[in-house]
Chains A and B, each alone.
Chain A
Amino acid sequence: MSWGDVGAGALRAAFPLALWGVVAATQAAWRRDGRFLASARMTAIATLALVTVASLAMVGALVSHDFSLHYVAENNARETPTYFSAISLWAALEGSILLWTTILAGAVVYVAWRGTRELPRLATTALALLFAMLSFFLLLVVTPAADPFVRLDAVPLNGRGPNPLLQDHWLMGLHPPLLYLGYVLFSIPFAYAMASLILGEGGDRWMVATRRSALVAWALLGIGIVAGGWWSYNVLGWGGYWAWDPVENAAIMPWLAATAYLHSVMVEEKRRMLRTWNLALVIGTFALTILGTFLTRSGVVNSVHSFSQSAIGPLLLGYLAAVLALSVGLLLWRSARLADSGPVAPISREAVFLFQNVLFVAVTLTVLLGTLYPLAVEALSGDQVSIGSPYFDRVAVPLGLALLFLMGVGPQLPWHGASRATLERQFAAPVVTSGALALVALVVGVRGTAAVLAFALAGFVCATVAQELARGIRARGTLHGESATTAFANLFKRSGRRYGGYVVHVGVAVIALAIAMSQAQAVQAEATLGPGGTMEVAGRTVVFEGLRDVVEPRRTQVVADLRVIDGGGSAPLVAALSYYPNATGAIGSPGIRSSATEDVYAILAAYDGRSRAWATIQIRIIPLVSWLWIGGAIVGIGALIAALPAARARERLVAATVPAGAGAE
């Protein structure tokens, strides 16, 4: 039996099981029948086992170069190293949908076994919805739309090999699965929200119960996006990490909407407000994950015309339309039970959250419409227009700075409003810090208004976090008589959500600073040099030592050996162009020397093809860019702290949240 038989068989067995799961979970929720719930649970396990077998069969086929499968022949070659063979599971459409399906099956098992214990009826209803989503994705992989196990009649001797960009850097093993995990885990809050509407619960239980799923999904998506930026910085060879490409926009839109959601849920928890709004945000976030998949997977972003050539495009669009119609319909049907109340003081934490939500939704909307605009123009008039970084930058920078400001203000304001004296006491240190950092920015030579503001606001945010920590330590000292270090540790242990959130804020401030500096203060130079030739960039001398050819089984490279000489000494740096048999152009492999203060980024732009007598070298000096990746890691650590609250406290919280309107379970 071949890998293909195993995989195809497993998927074909999983599809009817998932359909049964919809029936069983629906029956379990409707009749409150424990036997159906038990059946749904076993079905969940069996489905996950089958799709996992299918994914592993695909990995096995890739690693063993089984070219009798169309997917392997298209995305693998005998020369492909094992690591890149294995991660080619997500090198193209069919494998990506298979990975997606596997993660979704995992989410189904989580809700079936864990969720139904906390909130039997709500989670069982959500489980039926998740089984329905799983059925849709299984339908894609058992029909020609995205069947990964299509066979070839004539087995080729060798495959085409993966897209060169996907076999050039280890980060490809990390970036796509993180994104998919983030995307798919948003299904859980969405399913609970819809279940709550179906059952007519007016309360917040769905939200409290899925708080952790939403946070984990948000964090994984965010880290996935940063990892993608890091990958593009290392592989695409232009010294940047973000180009507002439609594929990038597709990833950031759900993240932006989810960021708004994670904050506005706190308003609902504290003030019992914004119920409809939070449901709308969850629907929007989930719809954006599907839209993102549609945009990246249907080929529609290259041209509206490639859309009709893929079978998956119309199916995903239909799925999106169905999800939106059903969820918005449910929301309207139940809107009477989602009463909102209470005045909002203008200077209060909830007011800041409201404005923060407005800004996040405005950014999301801008990215969405900016991404769709060229498609709409092309579809309506046939003209091609571009909406690229000049547009998005000009919009995102002011809105981003405003958000950074609110990020510092929000945690400092109490709920329900504050007095003038409180405000002055709270903001004295942060405002002084921000003024001082603005001056520091000027002294180190920053001249852009946005970059100076980024300095000031990053300082503002960090100062508010430091002040909050100090306040918490003092409060624990007074209440429990703890020493400063014990109090510090206990703050993170006992109030992880809050203080983990502050760590996330620090990470975001670091990222903002890194973006501002790397964008505004980068220096570049270009020169065509013969061996031994030198160029000067920002106080450094770069020596071009010569070119050499490197021949590997899967590619050939032209490598430029460089030496960077600065005050601290000299170090070698290697920039290359790689040629893969299945790609027409060269793939750049920049040479990067990172330090805490700046990166030296070397690009081999052109060279003498005949005698290797000269090369055109581009050098970019990019300040603070490594802090972008470090900031991403800080965000991840903060989210981890926030996601790991004491389990008992969480259960108490779920139990204590009484649904309004509906009867108890």
Chain B
Amino acid sequence: MRPRVAIALGTAALAVSIAVTALPRAEPQEDRVERISTELRCPVCQGLSVADSPSDMAREMRGLVRQRVAEGRTDDEIRAEFRQAYGDWILLSPPLLDARGAVWAIPPLAVIAGGVLVARRLRREAAAPVMVTPAQHAAIERRVLEEALAE
């Protein structure tokens, strides 16, 4: 198979797979409970979430989340209820649209700033076609092989 065809096929398989994962799926209630619980801090643990902690306290809080989900509350309503009861501390990450959500801006800013710095150094090295004799060609081939083995 020609390389270009192989690359096209591999990329297509990858794209189809990603598309399948991105299809909207109904989220089962228990998955929603799990997802919300991962965002809440277990008050009696060392930095574990309510979803991860095996403690009694966390189990009770999971129960409350399950109850609220069954009642049909939205994610934001459930989060707000816990925030009301325990303070901002209970949320394991600050909400994006919040005074303290600025912390979310750090990673993209760091990547963009670094990317711009690197991009400014990139220059295409001008390459003019060069004619070589068969003897030179053999020598070059040997160099390439040696370089392939070099550290």
- Interfacial residues, chain A to chain B (CB-CB below 8 A): 237-240, 243-246, 343-346, 351, 354-355, 357-359, 361-363, 365-366, 369-370, 373, 377, 383-391, 394-395, 399, 416-417, 424-425, 427-429, 431-436, 438-439, 441-442, 446-449, 452-453, 456, 471-472, 475-476, 478-479, 491, 494-495, 497-498, 526, 588, 603, 605-606, 618, 645
Contact = CB atoms under 8 A, between A and B. Distances in A.
B14 A438 contact: yes
Contacts of B4: 424, 428
A448 B49 contact: no
B107 A475 contact: no
Interface of B: 1, 3-4, 6-7, 9-14, 16-18, 20-22, 25, 38-39, 41, 46-49, 52-54, 56, 59, 87-94, 100, 103-104, 106-107, 110-111, 114-115, 117-118, 121-125, 127, 142, 145-146, 148-151
Contact of B38 (A390, A424, A435): A390
A424 B110 contact: no
Given A243-B52, A366-B110, A390-B39, A345 B145 contact: no
B57 to A, nearest CB: 11
B49 A388 contact: yes
B72 to A, nearest CB: 23
Interface of A is mostly: helix
B122 A344 contact: yes
Given A366-B110, A433-B10, A452-B18, A245 B93 contact: no
Given A355-B118, A389-B92, A452-B18, A369 B106 contact: yes
A252 to B, nearest CB: 15
15 contacts: A240-B52, A345-B125, A346-B122, A355-B115, A358-B115, A358-B117, A358-B118, A361-B110, A390-B38, A417-B125, A428-B6, A428-B7, A435-B10, A446-B21, A479-B145
Given A384-B89, A453-B18, A645-B151, 5 more contacts: A243-B52, A345-B125, A436-B13, A442-B21, A606-B59
A357 B111 CA distance: 10
A387 B122 CA distance: 36
Given A391-B92, A449-B22, A354 B118 contact: yes
Given A424-B3, A424-B7, A391 B121 contact: no
A369 B3 CA distance: 44
Given A238-B52, A377-B100, A384-B87, A471 B148 contact: yes
Contacts of B10: 428, 431-436
B145 to A, nearest CB: 4
B21 A448 contact: yes
A245 B106 CA distance: 19
Contacts of A389: 38, 49, 92
A433 B93 CA distance: 37
A345 B123 contact: yes
Given A384-B87, A390-B93, A449-B21, A435 B12 contact: yes
Contact of A386 (B18, B41, B114): B41
A387 B103 contact: yes
A427 B93 contact: no
Contact of A373 (B47, B54, B103): B103
Given A495-B150, A588-B54, A479 B103 contact: no
A365 B108 CA distance: 11
A245 B52 CA distance: 13
Nearest to A421: B3
A215 to B, nearest CB: 13
Nearest to A274: B121
Contacts of A497: 151
Contacts of B127: 417
A429 B3 CA distance: 8
B54 A385 contact: no
A428 B8 CA distance: 9
A436 B10 CA distance: 7
Please give me the 6 A-B residue pairs with the lowest Cβ-Cβ distance, nearest first. Answer: A435-B13, A358-B114, A388-B92, A435-B10, A391-B93, A438-B17
Contacts of B3: 424-425, 427-428
B41 A388 contact: yes
Nearest to B34: A524
Contacts of B21: 442, 446-449, 452
Contacts of A526: 59
A386 B123 contact: no
A382 B134 CA distance: 77
Nearest to A476: B149
Nearest to A359: B111
Nearest to B119: A346
B13 to A, nearest CB: 3
A435 B14 contact: yes
Name, among A246, A386, A447, the residue most crowded by chain B CB atoms within 10 Å (CB to CB). A386
Nearest to B127: A417
Name, among A358, A394, A433, the residue most crowded by chain B CB atoms within 10 Å (CB to CB). A358
Contacts of B22: 449
Nearest to B41: A386
A357 B7 CA distance: 27
Contacts of B6: 428-429, 431-432
Contacts of A394: 93
A366 B92 contact: no
Nearest to A430: B10
A387 B125 contact: no
B47 A245 contact: yes
Nearest to B115: A358
A99 B105 CA distance: 39
A639 B9 CA distance: 35
Name, among B46, B59, B115, the residue most crowded by chain A CB atoms within 10 Å (CB to CB). B46
Contacts of B142: 479
Contacts of A442: 17, 20-21
Contact of A431 (B7, B16, B115): B7
Contacts of A390: 38-39, 49, 92-93
